[in-house]
Amino acid sequence: MSKKRIFDVIQIGNKEDLPSRAFDIFISAVIILNILVMFLETFRELSDFQNIFKVIEYVTIIIFCIEYALRIWTADLLYPRRKKFRSVLRFILSFDGIVDLLTILPFFFLDGFILFRMLRVVRIFHLFRINAQYDSFTLIKDVLLERKKQLFSSLFIIAILTLASSLAMYGAEHDAQPEAFENAFSGIWWSVSTLLTVGYGDIYPVTITGKVIAIFIAFLGVCAVAIPTGIISAGFVEKFSKSVHSDKRFNDIREVGEILCDKKSGLIGMTYNEIFDTYEARVYMIIRGELTIVPNDNIKIEDGDILIVNTSKLVKAKDKNRGGKKRR
């Protein structure tokens, strides 16, 4: 099997390639089995099966190592514009590479340290890496990326409110509860549980001033949590509306309509004239994010573009006979 073929098989998200899809399913099953074994190892009642669990863990880790080695070997195909060393380094430092490395590293070198034993949980994110290539996870990823500035702003507001409420509660409760509110940092646990509306109740104010502050902070917490929730919800609604109203094929459009360009459309990378020659469709406008672009043959279609097109018989007839005689 050639290097290119191995790359195609292990590349995540190639639904059209049966071996590649089977490999994704196989790796997903191995990850789930590995996590399940790691979970079952914590039960004393299953101590008689520890040897079996260890064997399964060894086998799954070996599979992870082989996959990691193959991805490093084919990194130059993943990043063809870079040199071999740079492409390997780019993969190792990428999200996928870090997840792969942290999946296997604790097992070989760092087992026994509490912190690094906890890193074994990173294996779960291996599943996210695989599923991120499919439609539902792609939608979530796109929404988070599009709204990242608003989300960072809302998280910054929550962080400021957490710090301010911690300091305020420390000033109000320190004298009455020196053990519970020993310093300003001690109030962070209380402020987080209150602002995020969890309310564990293990630390709570006893003074009148502290209770009044807590009331205001509780209301602020509801608003603070609602901000990122609203941002994400609005992003999902907008994205879903685009996919419902714009995800059309040329054969479905008789007059003027919208087409959302994604990987399924087959339009990414095509030019204005190529679309006309292939589909006999006239592109009037390209909507790219907040930009409205007048199409020409120097502009190539990108993922996420929305095309305003017309495929009516009249337009096609006129465009086909552009060089013919004018009607009187």
| Tens-digit pLDDT profile for residues 118-129 | 566 666 666 665
How confident is the prediction for the chain on average, in pLDDT?
77
pTM: 0.52
Rounded average pLDDT over 17-41: 83
Question: Whose structure tokens read 């034993």?
Answer: 117
> Phi then psi for 176, rounded to 5 degrees?
-80, -35
Q: Distance (Å, rounded) from C-alpha 113 to C-alpha 7?
A: 35
Whether the per-residue pLDDT at 304 is higher than 60: the answer is: yes
- Report the pLDDT value the prediction gives residue 255, as an integer from 0 to 100: 63
Whether the per-residue pLDDT at 248 is higher than 60: the answer is: no
Beta-strand runs (E) in 216-290:
256-260, 282-288
Percent of the chain scoring above 90 in pLDDT: 3
Which range has the worst mean pLDDT, 12-16, 65-69, 207-211?
12-16
Domains by residue range for the chain, with CATH: 3-133 (1.20.120.350), 148-244 (1.10.287.70), 250-320 (3.30.70.1450)
Whether the per-residue pLDDT at 111 is higher than 60: the answer is: no
The number of residues making up the chain comes to: 328
Beta-strand runs (E) in 104-222:
none
Residue, of 268 and 127, whose pLDDT is higher? 268
Rounded average pLDDT over 27-49: 85
Residue, of 290 and 164, whose pLDDT is higher? 164
